[in-house]
Chains A and B, each alone.
Chain A
């Protein structure tokens, strides 16, 4: 299988890629930091992957998506599986003051994703096979005062994926939206907290791999976040306004 990983330095993407690191699979890793990319490539090879190539790309720059997909195709030939995990979390307080930061959040999390997905959809539609995994977040389920900029940047992609999934189903291409809860990773390192609501990249990766086998459409990781978000979504707006979530 030929696997394209976008945001390959992410803790979650890394853990997913490792689960597929065996002689049957080749990888193309895309992220910003080249040193980390090299290390991850070496890692996957040592774990048994057949071939691993890397590309450093900064999705804060608009318009680089076609080139990224072209070079992935040149390296892998056919792309069978895509994992998309690049994004920034940022700080809601900053987004409320700084329009450039807000625009950049949307550039990285939303626009680059929609561009990449559009290109990949066309590619896979012709191939008539393939899997696309997009890592969204439970934060996309409802805008909350503490992180509605980030949450909405993911929500746009989630809605986009719903339509794309239905479109591509006719071509035997599967699209899976993953919504992790709290995961211990560099993204959340600054957040105090631990306990039963927190999960690890390894556990999330295991759920993703199993979810793909079962061709799940939307996957909460771990599953209990589905319950939590169902409750959060059902709170009437007039009450929600008074909560500090």
Chain B
């Protein structure tokens, strides 16, 4: 069965329809706006209606190459923005770890990148968008017009209406390359010290960590920081990708491969500190080099778990979670840790907040996986943190409601024709 969410869990029957143009009336049945399905869990699924794809609406409308303001249709993806704007010296002010995301999808989850601490989330750079309601009403939303709809829709999980076109502010760059520093560190405590002392000129900061390490090595990893080079070429270097052609019947991501990968990855760099130049693709989008890498997890699929914990209790909560993972030997292939800053887009249900965010993935192995994730959720809730809906398929309604108190306000603004499996699950 074809998959419509990136994690492939839950894999429910979906029906996909295309919105043939931004002026086409919305369907009369229950629907959910749909981008490229790069959300992992069930927030981009609607098994009781249809998914309404924005893919035919992928036109640029206007780009001002003097100011970097781009107006485009909802289905334009980030890759295509970079391909056309980078040669003119413009880049995304905020980008998630894949370019295969639509602008509307980036708004609906108010996505963040490696520069959250300094730059905030995607929503901070949205100047306006048009939102169409199932009544046919077309609302131009910005911080000054229809501002309720503006802030409800940023991070609004697609529930407030269909975004048809978007105006965003890009940022100036002078080179396709970044200057990257990678530092190997020995323990989770060092991550916090490195973050604390990091040079703000390196606007991108992220750590990859080895989740199989325990005890005195708990949380060891690589602290990677980077910044755009001040000058150089504004070109798009060719990248050779690979593709996973078929979904494997069983997960190739298991204890053994996780262990090998994590150890090897940790050891890959011999010296303590490595400085290198990288083009934007390998730096921002390492996973995009392997198309459909999610198929490696097999037909059962996998779950992501991403939380953010307030700064003051972050270290303890992360330690507790890592210790639990190590103890249960349910290693995650990739574990990413980064600091988030206080700058906010104002989105009512935006995920980011000031603190530390941890992202992991686990192959689905039945109920035990879900129970285990609930134990992680409890640590997050107790610390006053929250989980990222774009990566969730499992949190309990109580967990969600406590972490996102504005959910009721969003529910009032929800378009009555729009619903998602996620929303039905968490507000019940």
Contact status A194-B60, CB under 8 Å: no
CB closest chain-A residue, reference B22: A39
Contact of B84 among A21, A36, A195 (CB under 8 A): A21
Query: In the complex the two chains form, is B2's CB within 8 Å of A194's CB?
Result: yes
Contact A196 to B87, CB < 8 A, known contacts A40-B59, A47-B63? no
A47 pairs with B84, CB closer than 8 A: yes
Distance of B395 from chain A, by nearest CB (Å): 30
* A189 to chain B: closest residue by CB: B18
Residues of A within 8 Å of B63, CB to CB, are: 46-48
Size category, B interface? 20 to 34
User: What is the chain A residue whose CB lies nearest that of B55?
Assistant: A184
A42 engages B59 (CB within 8 Å): yes
Contact with A along B69-103 (1 / 0, CB 8 A): 01110000000100010011000000000000000
Assess whether A18 is interfacial by the CB under 8 Å rule: yes
Which residues 1-44 of B have a CB within 8 angstroms of A? Answer: 2, 18, 20-21
Do A42 and B87 touch (CB < 8 A)? no
How big is chain A's contact interface, by range? 10 to 19
Q: Does A43 contact B (CB under 8 A)?
A: yes
Contact present for B84 and A48 (CB under 8 Å)? yes
Residue in chain B with minimal CB distance to A35 = B21
Among the listed A22, A36, A47, A195, which residue makes an inter-chain contact with B60, where contact means beta carbons less than 8 Å apart? A47
Which residues from A are CB-within-8-Å of B265?
none
Q: Assess whether B246 is interfacial by the CB under 8 Å rule.
A: yes
Q: Are A46 and B245 in contact (CB under 8 A)?
A: no
* Residues 219 to 267 of chain B near chain A (Cβ within 8 Å): 245-246
A43–B2 CB distance below 8 A: no
- Name A's B-contacting residues (CB within 8 A): 18, 21-22, 35-36, 39-40, 42-43, 46-48, 186, 189, 194-196
B contacts, CB < 8 Å to A:
2, 18, 20-21, 56, 59-63, 65, 70-72, 80, 84, 87-88, 245-246
29 contacts between A and B (CB under 8 A): A18-B80, A35-B21, A39-B21, A39-B59, A40-B59, A42-B60, A42-B61, A42-B62, A43-B60, A43-B61, A46-B60, A46-B62, A46-B63, A46-B71, A46-B72, A46-B84, A47-B60, A47-B63, A47-B84, A48-B63, A48-B84, A48-B87, A48-B88, A186-B20, A186-B56, A189-B18, A194-B2, A195-B246, A196-B246
Taking A18-B84, A36-B21 as given, write out 9 further A-B residue pairs in contact, using a Cβ cutoff of 8 Å, ordered by the A residue number.
Answer: A18-B80, A21-B84, A39-B59, A40-B59, A42-B59, A43-B61, A46-B71, A47-B84, A186-B20
Minimum-distance CB pairs A-B, first 3? A46-B60, A43-B59, A47-B84
